[in-house]
């Protein structure tokens, strides 16, 4: 699928989500019924060797930066098993811990991490998760990171409903005063046991949803980062290294790669990145595009950020497409301090 056609499909899905439609399918989803035997074969492999335990990573990171009278930054993760960190053994290997410790180092402030993500969650669970994230009156998160979408594709949730749920969640969080960064639907075509033609369909459906998610998020004032093929060409070359033992969830190295791509956008959303980094760099093929075109381009290239451009262009909403330089993240050396 070309970038132009992906942009059209993404815009139709996002428009359907905004206006209550539900008839746009992902990648000709009706034909998936012809591939049930292959789906069953993939399911027998995916999940073998799974690590059922999700390490608890909540707490205070960067306690050494504490300054009397200055509260810690509040970071909340929402979403599915990827946001929760399923598939690794230690709390410091989860994306939440990596982002919290990295954010603390950049901001030179402690970061209070909360994680309300639920393994297996689809976008229709975000309403419950947002309520949890906002349950402390007067203490809305400073920034929220959402990773969602894979289960929407595998469970064939209508994409318009998926995007509508995500857009509503972003709007609620932004209204409460939180910055929002969404890691869009990962490329399910990279799951090792999945064979052709299901692999092709999974990749196409994933990228369509990721592009539509980007439009919905940006229009609500959030930013997106494409998770794509787990954020790097190295994944295609080293799938066994970047997948966990269940061949479905990321390994510790895979989560570190994802967090490394998301952190610069989190910092930019909080105004912690140098101002000149928010200007497009033509040498990295960055620039202002209509939001649907920016969304389609981002879906095709992992690690790409899309944020709203102000003011909007004459042909409707425009967005800034960024390819930020990644920052290598280290696993926290100590367990987080339990937040009060």
Closest of 256, 220, 202, 223 to residue 146, by C-alpha: 223
Task: Please state the length of the chain.
Answer: 340
Exposure of 46 in the CB half-sphere (CA atoms within 13 A): 18
Give the pLDDT of the chain (340 residues) as one tens digit per residue: 555 565 666 666 655 555 555 444 444 444 444 444 444 444 455 445 454 578 889 999 999 999 998 899 999 999 998 898 887 888 888 999 999 999 999 999 999 999 999 988 999 999 999 999 999 877 889 999 999 998 888 788 888 999 999 999 999 999 999 999 999 998 876 665 556 666 667 778 888 999 999 999 999 999 999 987 654 344 444 544 444 455 556 677 778 888 888 999 999 999 998 766 778 888 888 888 888 888 988 888 888 999 998 665 556 678 999 988 776 676 786 667 765 4
Question: What does the pLDDT look like over 183-219, one tens digit per residue?
Answer: 999 887 666 555 666 666 777 888 899 999 999 999 9
The Cα diameter of the chain in Å comes to 63
Angle at which helices 159-175 and 3-19 cross, to 10°? 70
CATH for the stretch 3-27+55-322: 3.40.50.1110
pTM above 0.85, yes or no: no
Peptide bond before residue 311 is cis, with ω within 30 degrees of 0: yes
Per-residue DSSP letter, 231: S
Radius of gyration of the chain (CA): 19
- Among 132, 144, 70, 67, which residue's Cα sits nearest to residue 100? 144
Structure token pair of residue 281: 């760099």
Q: What is the pLDDT of residues 78-101, one digit of tens each?
A: 999 889 888 788 888 899 999 999
CA 124/CA 169 separation, integer angstroms: 9
Catalytic residues: 81, 246, 249
Sequence-separated (6 or more) residues with CB below 8 Å from residue 155? 122
pLDDT at position 179, please? 97
Q: Please state the separation of Cα 129 from the chain's center in Å.
A: 15
Residues 251-272: tens digit of each pLDDT = 777 788 888 889 999 999 999 9
Whether the CA torsion 203, 208, 209, 210 is positive or negative: it is positive
Separation CA 81–CA 120 (nearest Å): 6
């Amino acid at each position: 699928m070309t970038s132009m056609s992906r942009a059209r499909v993404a815009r139709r899905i996002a428009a359907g989500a905004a206006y209550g439609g539900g008839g746009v399918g992902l990648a000709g989803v009706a034909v998936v019924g012809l591939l049930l035997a292959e789906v069953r074969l993939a399911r027998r492999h995916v999940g073998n060797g799974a690590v059922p335990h999700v390490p608890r990573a909540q707490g205070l990171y960067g306690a050494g930066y504490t300054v009397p009278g200055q509260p810690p930054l509040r970071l909340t993760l929402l979403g599915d098993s990827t946001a929760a960190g399923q598939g690794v053994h230690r709390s410091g290997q989860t994306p939440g811990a990596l982002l919290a410790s990295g954010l603390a180092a950049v901001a030179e402030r402690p970061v209070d991490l909360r994680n309300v993500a639920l393994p297996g969650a689809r976008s229709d669970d975000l309403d419950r998760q947002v309520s949890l994230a906002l349950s402390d009156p007067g203490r809305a998160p400073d920034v929220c990171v959402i990773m969602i979408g894979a289960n929407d594709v595998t469970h064939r949730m209508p994409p318009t409903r998926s995007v509508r749920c995500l857009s509503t969640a972003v709007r609620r969080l932004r209204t409460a005063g939180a910055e929002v960064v969404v890691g869009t639907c990962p490329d399910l075509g990279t799951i090792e046991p999945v064979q052709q033609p299901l692999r092709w369909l999974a990749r196409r459906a994933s990228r369509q949803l990721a592009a539509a998610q980007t439009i919905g998020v940006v229009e609500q004032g959030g930013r997106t980062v494409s998770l794509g093929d787990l954020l790097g060409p190295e994944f295609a070359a080293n799938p066994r290294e970047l997948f966990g033992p269940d061949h479905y969830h990321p390994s510790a190295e895979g989560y570190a790669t994802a967090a490394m791509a998301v952190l610069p956008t989190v910092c930019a959303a909080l105004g912690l990145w140098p101002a000149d980094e928010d200007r497009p760099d033509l040498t990295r093929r960055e620039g202002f595009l209509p939001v649907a075109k920016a969304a389609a381009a981002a879906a095709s290239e992992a690690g790409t950020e899309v944020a709203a451009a102000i003011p909007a262009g004459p042909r409707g909403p425009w967005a800034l497409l960024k390819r930020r330089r990644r920052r290598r993240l280290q696993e926290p050396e100590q367990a987080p301090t339990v937040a009060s």
